[in-house]
A = this chain, B = another copy of it.
Amino acid sequence: MPDAEILAVGSELLGTQRVDTNSLYLTGKLNVLGVEVVQKCVVGDDRARLANEIASALRRTEIVILSGGLGPTEDDITRDAVAAALGRTQYQDAAALAAIEERFRRNNRKMAEINKRQAMVIEGAEVLPNPRGTAPGQWIRTEDCRTVMLLPGPPHELKGMFEDQVQPRLEAMLPKQCIETAFYRIAGMGESDVDALIAPVYSKYTNPVTTILAGAGDIQLHFRARCSTTEEAKSLLAEVCPQIEKLLGDRIYSNDGASLEETVVKLLRAKNGTVAVAESATGGGLGARITSVAGSSACFMGGFITYTNEMKEQLLGVSSEVIAEYTEVSEQVAVAMAKGVRDKTGVGYGVSVTGEAGPESGSGQPVGVFYVGVADERGAEARRYQFPGDRARLRQLGTQWALDMLRRRILSAG
């Protein structure tokens, strides 16, 4: 199986602030295809240096993936450097130019002369269309069976191009391996707790390979069986997966890659349920996560951002006495907010979040304490959560807990 090397291009990735994260995404995708990333490099906007590094990479590694440096300016040197490293010329590709011009026309913008640079294509390259941005990518097979690809730097463009254009080409090129995967997403548990629970099972197997990835309150479990036939790979998974599912139970919220917000929207739509939110510490982040799902308008009505106590009282009808007695970060206030939003909007499920995201406490409750409330026709309840982390992580966790509590409430409605 060939190895891969990733070259990220751009002087901005050589400063003190930004790291190349595209390579993490690319590595995940390549690993699933059975390709290992053996080296990665960041090179600045320096034609000679980049051309030199590309030539070195091609001597030692079969697949070389470049990201970034495909923009219209003089700084965008990837095309030139690859052409130089391969000793090939470039030409202006009429179809690529037409696509760029069409994109500007559609956006009612005038195309600058320099954008024509983005239609320059290396001799022998296949153009990879980029519906998400201006710069097309390129895919090149060399005489000595190396593969070089030029992908755009902006992550959403790179991901889209990889999925639409690169993955099918790699699958066609790579030796066929039968890989079967199982994938679970889990909310409401820490990484080490998940590991402690399932290690007795997965550690008995070297095939499938188990990978545990941890995000903020969100664990991903991958099982990858590699065999010479699909049947063998499937039967390996059929042995391991039921054991894992039994141990984790309803902590597993998805087995198809769906995010927690996608899962919640799917559940609500399936049951013709509706939801509205009442957010304090998360400031709109819960609504933003739900509405990030296309089609959420079928079940998400809206809600209230009540960042101050006055807003909690005025917009949601939370009583000032309750706030005075229990503070705004309390079970009582979370319940009142969830009931309040349900009453004001007429939805099936009202969900509330109130908490201390820091850096300082406003309510007197410790930073990291959150309450999440859910109200439905059966009544209302709230739960307390406390975790460490900075403001951004705590706010993310707050939306995670709220979504998971809503998910369980919907499931429990039968």
Q: Which residues of A contact B (CB under 8 A)?
A: 11-12, 14-17, 19-21, 24-25, 27-28, 31, 36-44, 46, 49, 52-53, 56, 60, 71-73, 75, 103, 106-109, 112, 114-115, 132, 154, 156, 160, 190-193, 195-196, 199, 211-214, 222, 276-277, 279, 281-288, 290-292, 294, 296-297, 300-308, 310-311, 314-315, 344-345, 358-359, 362, 386-393, 395
Instruction: Kindly identify which residue among B20, B44, B283, B286 contacts A300, using a CB–CB cutoff of 8 Å.
Output: B283
Q: Which residues of B contact A190 (CB under 8 A)?
A: 109
Query: What residues on B are CB-neighbors of A315 within 8 Å?
Result: 302, 304, 344-345
Docked-complex contact B38 and A46, CB < 8 angstroms: yes
Known: A283-B290, A315-B344. A156 touches B392 (CB 8 A): yes
Contact of A288 among B24, B282, B308, B389 (CB under 8 A): B282
Q: Which residues of B contact A294 (CB under 8 A)?
A: 358-359, 391
What chain B residues lie within 8 Å of A395 (beta carbons)? Answer: 288, 291-292
- A404 vs chain B, min Cβ distance (A): 18
Q: A106 contacts which chain B residues (CB < 8 A)?
A: 388
A360 to chain B, nearest CB (A): 8
Contacts of A15 in B (CB 8 A): 27, 222
Contact yes or no, B307 A284, CB < 8 A: no
Residues of B within 8 A of A37 (CB): 14
A359 to B15, CA, bound (A): 32
Contact, CB under 8 Å: B21 / A19: yes
**Pairs A-B, 9 closest by C-beta atoms:** A283-B291, A284-B287, A284-B284, A302-B311, A285-B288, A284-B288, A16-B28, A302-B305, A287-B305
How many copies of this chain does one complex carry?
2
Q: Do the beta carbons of A288 and B291 come within 8 Å of each other?
A: no
Partner of A24, one of B17, B49, B305, B359: B17
- What secondary structure prevails in chain A residues at the interface with B? mixed
Residues on the B chain within 8 Å of A41, using CB: 39-42
In the complex, what residues of B have CB within 8 A of residue A103's CB? 388
- Pair A307/B301 contact, Cβ less than 8 Å: yes
Q: Which of B12, B284, B386 contacts A211 (CB 8 A)?
A: B12
User: Do residues B284 and A196 form an inter-chain contact, with CB atoms below 8 A?
Assistant: no
Minimum CB distance partner of A24 in chain B: B16
Contacts of A393 in B (CB 8 A): 132, 156
Q: Smallest Cβ distance from A97 to chain B, in angstroms?
A: 15
The answer to whether B156 and A107 have CB atoms under 8 Å apart is no
In the complex the two chains form, is B39's CB within 8 Å of A191's CB? Answer: no
* Contact B291 A287, beta carbon cutoff 8 Å: no
How distant is A243 from chain B, measured CB to nearest CB, in Å?
19
CB pair A12 B359 closer than 8 Å: no
Partner of A303, one of B17, B284, B297: B284
The smallest C-beta distance from A306 to any residue of chain B, in angstroms, reads 5
User: Is there contact, CB below 8 Å, between A297 and B307?
Assistant: yes
User: For residue A316, which residue of chain B has the nearest CB?
Assistant: B302
A315 to B304, CA, bound (A): 9
The answer on a CB contact under 8 Å between A192 and B115 is yes
| Inter-chain contacts of A53 with B (CB < 8 A) | 39
Identify the closest chain B residue to A387 (Cβ).
B107
Q: Give A60 to B49 CA distance when docked, in angstroms.
A: 8
The reply to whether B304 and A304 form a contact with Cβ atoms under 8 Å apart is yes
**Of residues A12, A199, A311, which shows the largest number of chain B Cβ atoms within 10 Å of its Cβ?**
A311
15 A–B pairs (Cβ distance < 8 Å), ordered by A: A14-B27, A14-B39, A75-B211, A114-B195, A132-B389, A132-B393, A283-B291, A284-B291, A284-B305, A288-B395, A297-B308, A302-B307, A304-B304, A311-B345, A315-B345
